[in-house]
């Protein structure tokens, strides 16, 4: 089944939520199948199918389902070789989960400011840190000021748009770093490789699927050495809660499967040679995931249409700037976000948020930059772009099922006041 969605009906209660799941496909049928067959727990045919379907969709060799995106990040960092006291470069302007996952491994975050155009990890800042802030002996990279080993980069594709991965992967190769891509907000987004193709990767399935100058378009989540997805309720598709690790490395996929299932070394006797985790997705959740994935292309189409309408409505309005898409990217416009310049618009993003709330419309600021959160206070670096974006940003209602009349109400409320 591959439904094409029309916009939904206007919110009956008059309340317009920021983003809610869309459950109009085979979810009931597949979950009933789990209940009917008694396959309800962390093994079963839908888990296998969901992993195969996601791997196929991303053009990656392996996918390992996890209980959440955060669990996926934790295990991805472990299998990628991040050790206690290592340092990992991570986006500063993002949801906090990746920085926490780095701490779960006993490693430390090095926060990287955002770039002002697409608000993603600024690869120029990454280069600056690696070249000026580190010492490289040809094998290992060390932070000059802390003396710690720097082992990985964790770029986060925020709001549905990929990080500029080509130059990032080149830096990673040059300094022998592993790249763990957090694509939890960008499932379905695409990235166009401009330079030479990255070494030793196969993206045949995906190349065949893409249109136009197809050979260069690749899927977010498959752009690093290992990628992570989330199926939390607020993401573009959901399993209620869940995540996925995606990689071309069979060794890493096997290790991830092992660590997410309590590191059991003998299928009969309970023998464990490492500390593992209970991080598996259940068959019921995977069943929902299979049904949601069938609808993902139509979800993305709706997100794009919603973004286009907002962008048209706000074009030329002094003090409002909409999120944008690089010409090397296809965003999924996961969470439509505007910047409000108080000097030119008249009120700031938080006052506009209150105005929306008075009109029963839910908005949301972006995250507080990670370096300002208490567990990470005192982190080195300066983050003027992330701080400005976080001050000015406001996310607007953009559910896949958002009715056009409701979107018009949001637009009116922003443009006409009240
Ligand atoms: C949602 C999200 C996660 C974590 O996913 P969960 O499934 O909620 O654990 C990680 N990183 C980012 C950037 C996210 O937005």
Ligand 1 within 6 A of CB of 97: yes
Ligand 1 within 6 A of CB of 156: yes
Q: Which of 240, 250, 246 is nearest to 286 (CA)?
A: 240
Helix axes 45-58, 283-314, angle to 10 degrees: 40
Ligand 1 within 6 A of CB of 230: yes
Q: 69 C-alpha vs ligand 1 centroid, how far in Å?
A: 5
Ligand 1 within 6 A of CB of 70: yes
Pairing assessment for the beta strands 178-182 and 150-154 based on DSSP bridges:
parallel
List the residue whose alpha carbon is closest to atom 13 of ligand 1: 95
Q: 228 C-alpha vs ligand 1 centroid, how far in Å?
A: 9
Q: How far is CA 276 from CA 72, 182, 257, 264, 331, in A?
A: 13, 22, 10, 8, 35
Q: 139 C-alpha vs ligand 1 centroid, how far in Å?
A: 32
| Helix locations, 59-199, DSSP H | 69-79, 97-104, 123-132, 165-174
List the residue whose alpha carbon is closest to atom 10 of ligand 1: 97
Please list the pLDDT of the chain residue by residue as tens digits (418 residues).
445 566 777 776 789 999 999 999 999 999 999 999 999 998 899 999 999 999 999 999 999 999 999 999 999 999 999 999 999 999 999 999 999 999 999 999 999 999 999 999 999 999 999 999 999 999 999 999 999 999 999 999 999 999 999 999 999 999 999 999 999 999 999 999 976 544 444 444 444 444 445 458 999 999 999 999 999 999 999 999 999 999 999 999 999 999 999 999 988 899 999 999 999 999 999 999 999 999 999 999 999 999 999 999 999 999 999 999 999 999 999 999 999 999 999 999 999 999 999 999 999 999 999 999 999 999 999 999 999 999 999 999 999 999 999 999 999 999 987 5
Q: 243 C-alpha vs ligand 1 centroid, how far in Å?
A: 9
Q: 153 C-alpha vs ligand 1 centroid, how far in Å?
A: 17
Q: 99 C-alpha vs ligand 1 centroid, how far in Å?
A: 11
Q: 95 C-alpha vs ligand 1 centroid, how far in Å?
A: 7
Q: How far is CA 253 from CA 75, 92, 101, 126, 221, in A?
A: 10, 28, 18, 27, 14
Which residue out of 18, 66, 67, 70 has the highest number of ligand 1 atoms within 8 Å of its CB and is therefore the one to mutate? 70
User: What is the rounded CA–CA span in Å between residue 78 and residue 377?
Assistant: 24
List the residue whose alpha carbon is closest to atom 6 of ligand 1: 69
User: What is the rounded CA–CA span in Å between residue 242 and residue 71?
Assistant: 9
Ligand 1 within 6 A of CB of 295: no
List the residue whose alpha carbon is closest to atom 5 of ligand 1: 69
Q: Which of 162, 138, 167, 97 is nearest to 326 (CA)?
A: 162
Cα 184 from chain centroid (whole Å): 3
- For 362, the token pair is 């839910």
Q: 162 C-alpha vs ligand 1 centroid, how far in Å?
A: 15
Q: 136 C-alpha vs ligand 1 centroid, how far in Å?
A: 32
Ligand 1 within 6 A of CB of 182: yes
Pairing assessment for the beta strands 108-112 and 337-340 based on DSSP bridges:
unpaired
């Amino acid at each position: 089944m591959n439904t094409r969605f029309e916009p939904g009906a206007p919110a009956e209660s008059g309340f317009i939520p920021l983003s809610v799941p869309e459950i109009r496909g085979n979810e009931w049928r597949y979950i009933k199948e789990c209940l009917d067959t008694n396959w309800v727990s962390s093994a079963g045919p839908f888990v296998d199918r969901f992993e195969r379907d996601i791997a196929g969709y991303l053009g990656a060799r392996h996918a390992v389902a996890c209980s959440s995106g955060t669990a996926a990040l934790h295990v991805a960092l472990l299998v990628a070789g991040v050790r206690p006291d290592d340092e990992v470069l991570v986006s500063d302007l993002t949801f906090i989960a990746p920085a926490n996952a780095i701490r779960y491994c006993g490693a430390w975050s090095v926060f990287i400011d955002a770039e002002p155009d697409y608000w993603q990890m600024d690869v120029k800042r990454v280069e600056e840190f690696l070249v000026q802030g580190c010492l490289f002996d040809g094998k290992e990279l060390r932070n000059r000021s802390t003396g710690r080993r720097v082992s990985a980069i964790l770029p986060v594709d925020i709001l549905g748009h990929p990080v500029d991965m080509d130059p990032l992967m080149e830096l990673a190769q040059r300094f022998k770093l592993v790249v763990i891509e957090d694509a939890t907000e960008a499932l379905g987004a695409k990235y166009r490789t401009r330079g030479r193709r990255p070494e030793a990767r196969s993206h045949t399935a995906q190349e065949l699927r893409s249109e136009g100058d197809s050979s260069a378009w690749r899927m977010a989540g498959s752009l690093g050495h290992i990628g992570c997805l989330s199926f939390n309720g607020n993401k573009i598709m959901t399993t209620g809660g869940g995540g996925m690790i995606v990689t071309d490395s069979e060794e890493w996929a096997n290790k991830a499967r092992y660590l997410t299932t309590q590191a059991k070394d003998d299928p009969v006797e309970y023998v464990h040679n490492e500390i593992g985790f209970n991080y598996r997705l259940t068959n019921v959740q995977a069943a929902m995931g299979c049904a949601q994935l069938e609808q993902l292309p139509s979800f993305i189409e709706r997100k794009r249409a919603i973004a286009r309408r907002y962008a048209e409505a706000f074009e030329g309005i002094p003090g409002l700037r909409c999120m944008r898409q690089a010409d090397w990217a296809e965003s999924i416009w996961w969470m439509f976000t505007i910047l409000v310049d108080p000097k030119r618009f008249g009120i700031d993003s938080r006052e506009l948020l209150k105005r929306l709330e008075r009109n029963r419309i839910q908005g949301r600021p972006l995250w507080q930059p990670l370096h300002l959160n208490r567990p990470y206070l005192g982190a080195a670096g300066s983050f003027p772009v992330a701080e400005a974006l976080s001050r000015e940003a406001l996310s607007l209602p953009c559910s896949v099922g958002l009715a056009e009349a409701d979107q018009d109400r949001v637009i009116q409320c922003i443009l006409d006041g009240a």
